[in-house]
Amino acid sequence: MPRVHPIKVVEKGSIAEELDVQPGDVLLKINGSPVEDVLEYRFLINDDYIEVLIRKASGEEWLLEIQKEPHEDLGLEFETGLMDRGKSCTNKCIFCFIDQLPKGMRKSLYFKDDDSRLSFLQGNYISLTNLEKADIERIIKYRISPLNVSVHTTHPGLRASMLGNPKAGEALGAMRTFLEKGLVINCQIVLCPGINDGENLERTLKDLYNMGQGIRSIGVVPVGITKHRKGLYPIRPFGGEDAVRVVGTVEKWQKTFQKEYESRVVYAADELYLKAGLPVPEAEAYQDFPQLENGIGMMALFQQQFDRQFEKTAWERQRPGSVSMATGVAAGNFVRVLVRRIKEAARDIKVHVHPVVNEFFGDTIDVSGLVTGGDLIRQLRGKELGDRLLVPENMLKSGEEVFLDDVTVTTVRESLGVEVEVCPVDGGDFLQKIIREDLK
């Protein structure tokens, strides 16, 4: 039976609104074809002339003839972003973070996706083990690019072992097929000490180098280990010496890629530089920041944004104030250096930096994006917070004021007795929030 898709939202000022499409109407066909999912929808609306069949709430069917710019959106949102059910992961990865979550969190956090459509829509990384022949053909037909692939290792046997899936080694063949068809791929390597680092990392980077310029970027990130990791494959967290070796390997291969492809291609996570006790490279080293969603280059970009805003700020006009900033332990010293510059430029502005130890997941997890509301409340109660507490928006569920442990911003505000402001992860916005320049 052909799929039909109830319309949830019609964007204001959109083509759909102009044609009197309403929430609750149902999309039946585009150009005479039923729409299977979001990939097909995006593909079918790309033309400059399309015919859209809608069923109104009254049961009446409207055929809308639409002349528009190529790739111009219609302004419709559906009940599910995929216009279909998501494909769950069939792997049993030895490093899976979801397996390390404590019980009692919201159900959506335990869903393991491995869906190529989410790779296209949201930048999620997929293992390729879920792909059937028809999926591969659709990705090529609809030019789903760049595609984000969790590689981890190119050694077939080791990849099968790490992903807990006998198909994992051969699944990388799909990646070669995509490259041959001209698609572009971003790669992710989650490194587990003593497992896929060292010689195995060298092999993986060499194999990806030999695949050519279709490999747009490679992100090398350390495995995350929580205190709830019980009864799982024994993996130790990265230490300082481990991180030094990995950074050295990555920087060596950056030179090789740069010489051949005029791009560094491979990048180490900011966290690896911090664990190694090495300075994070400057923004120019990350080129167009292709691995930003992996936390790679985030600190360099933040620094660049801060510097540009700092130079534009009229420091002689700043008002006195007192504000605090919550962050993860990993970024604590980085934030303190920026705050010191603010204090030197405007001595009447007091800023308190509070790195929050992750008691919820364990202190081996030190990034700000995994700090919970409960840890914020427990560790900041009684501390000097000033008139406002800034929390980075990556601590919150996307589009909502809710932390990972379902504690709300309102609860934090009421518990600590201080105004809480959500701060974009942008160095310029961070500076403006502190000096309240955005309120003038």
What is d(CA 139, CA 213) in angstroms, rounded to the nearest whole number? 19
Q: Does the pLDDT at position 171 exceed 60?
A: yes
- pLDDT value of residue 119: 47
What is d(CA 220, CA 209) in angstroms, rounded to the nearest whole number? 14
What is d(CA 216, CA 82) in angstroms, rounded to the nearest whole number? 25
Percent of the chain predicted with pLDDT > 70: 93
Q: Does the pLDDT at position 42 exceed 60?
A: yes
Q: What is this structure's pTM?
A: 0.84
Identify residue 404 by its one-letter amino acid code.
L
Cα dist from 79 to 54, 99, 278, whole Å: 15, 28, 46
- For residue 70 the two structure tokens come to 């190529």
pLDDT, mean of residues 417-432? 94
Helix axes 332-345, 298-312, angle to 10 degrees: 10
pLDDT band at residue 85 under the 50/70/90 scheme: low
Closest CA to 354 of 407, 306, 391: 391
Q: Does the pLDDT at position 88 exceed 70?
A: no
Q: What is the 3-state secondary structure (H, E, C) of the chain?
A: CCCCEEEEEECCCCHHHHCCCCCCCEEEEECCEECCCHHHHHHHCCCCEEEEEEECCCCCEEEEEEECCCCCCCCEEECCCCCCCCCECCCCCCCCCHHHCCCCCCHHHHCCECCHHHHHHHCCCECCCCCCHHHHHHHHHCCCCCEEEECCCCCHHHHHHHHCCCCHHHHHHHHHHHHHCCCCEEEEEEECCCCCCCHHHHHHHHHHHHCCCCEEEEEEEECCCCCCCCCCCCCCCCCHHHHHHHHHHHHHHHHHHHHHHCCCCEEECHHHHHHHCCCCCCHHHHCCCCCHHHCCCHHHHHHHHHHHHHHHCCHHHCCCEEEEEEEECCCHHHHHHHHHHHHHHCCCEEEEEEEECCCCCCCCCCCHHHCCHHHHHHHHCCCCCCCEEEEEHHHECCCCCEECCCCEHHHHHHHHCCEEEEECCCHHHHHHHHHCHHHC
Cα dist from 397 to 243, 361, 405, whole Å: 29, 17, 10
What is d(CA 318, CA 347) in angstroms, rounded to the nearest whole number? 9
pLDDT band at residue 113 under the 50/70/90 scheme: low
Q: Does the pLDDT at position 120 exceed 60?
A: no
- pLDDT value of residue 84: 61
Instruction: Give the model confidence (pLDDT) of 341-394 as tens digits.
Output: 999 998 889 999 999 999 999 999 999 999 999 999 999 999 999 999 999 999
Listed in sequence order, the residues at least 6 apart from 430 whose beta carbon sits closer than 8 Å to its beta carbon are 302, 305, 306, 325, 338, 390, 423, 424
pLDDT band at residue 116 under the 50/70/90 scheme: very low
Listed in sequence order, the residues at least 6 apart from 393 whose beta carbon sits closer than 8 Å to its beta carbon are 422, 423, 424, 425
What is d(CA 5, CA 80) in angstroms, rounded to the nearest whole number? 9
Identify whether the C-beta of residue 7 lies closer than 8 Å to the C-beta of residue 21.
Answer: yes
- pLDDT value of residue 439: 43
Residue 122: HSE in the Cβ half-sphere, 13 Å Cα cutoff: 14
- pLDDT value of residue 347: 85
pLDDT, mean of residues 230-258? 94
**CATH fold group of domain 5-78:** Pdz3 Domain (2.30.42)
Provide the mean pLDDT of the chain: 89
Q: Does the pLDDT at position 123 exceed 60?
A: no
Domain 302-439 has CATH 1.20.120: no
What is d(CA 426, CA 304) in angstroms, rounded to the nearest whole number? 9
Sheet holding 147-150, edge to edge: 147-150, 185-191, 215-222, 266-268
Identify residue 393 by its one-letter amino acid code.
E
- Relative to beta strand 215-222, strand 185-191 is parallel
Domain boundaries, the chain: 5-78, 98-295, 302-439
Instruction: Give the model confidence (pLDDT) of 277-302 as tens digits.
Output: 999 999 999 999 999 988 899 999 99
CATH class of 98-295: alpha beta
pLDDT, mean of residues 22-28? 92
Identify residue 402 by its one-letter amino acid code.
V
